[in-house]
Amino acid sequence: MRSALAATSAVLLTGTGIYLHTTLRGKLRAWDGILDRAAFQGDEQVLDMGCGRGAVLIAAARRLPRGRAVGVDLWSADQSGNRPEATLANAAAAGGADRVEVRGGDMTALPFPNDSFDVVTSAMAIHNISSAEGRHRALDEAIRVLRPGGRLFIAGPPPFVRKYAAHLGQGTVRGLGPGHWYSGPWIAVSLLRLTNRGSEHDRPAPSIGT
pLDDT 10s digits, 143-173: 999 999 999 999 999 999 999 999 999 999 9
DSSP, collapsed to helix, strand or coil, labels residue 44 as coil
- DSSP for residue 42: S
Tens digit of each residue's pLDDT (9 = 90 or more) over 33-91? 999 999 999 999 999 999 999 999 999 999 999 999 999 999 865 555 678 999 999 99
Helix or strand (DSSP H, E) at 123: strand 117-123
CA–CA separation, 177 and 70 (whole Å): 27
Beta carbons of 195 and 151 less than 8 angstroms apart = yes
What does residue 179 show for φ and ψ, rounded to 5 degrees? Answer: -65, -10
CB 82 within 8 A of CB 112: no
Q: Which pLDDT does position 75 carry in this prediction?
A: 80
> Above pLDDT 70, what percent of the chain?
75
Percentage of the chain surpassing pLDDT 90?
68
Confidence band of 139 (pLDDT split at 50, 70, 90): very high
Given a cut of 50, whether residue 16 has pLDDT beyond it is: no
Mean pLDDT of 98-102: 96
pTM (predicted TM-score): 0.81
Mean pLDDT across the stretch 93-122?
Answer: 96
Q: Enter the CATH code of domain 45-195.
A: 3.40.50.150
Higher pLDDT residue, 201 or 108?
A: 108
Are 125 and 163 contacting, i.e. CB atoms less than 8 angstroms apart? no
Contacts of 73 (CB under 8 A, 6+ apart): 50, 51, 52, 82, 84, 87, 102, 104, 105
pLDDT value at residue 205? 41
Closest residue by Cα to residue 70 from 50, 53, 88, 47: 47
Residues 28, 55: contact at Cβ < 8 Å? yes
- 12 has pLDDT over 70: no
pLDDT value of position 178 = 76
Over the Cα atoms of the chain, what is R_g? 18
> How far out from the chain centre does Cα 166 lie?
18
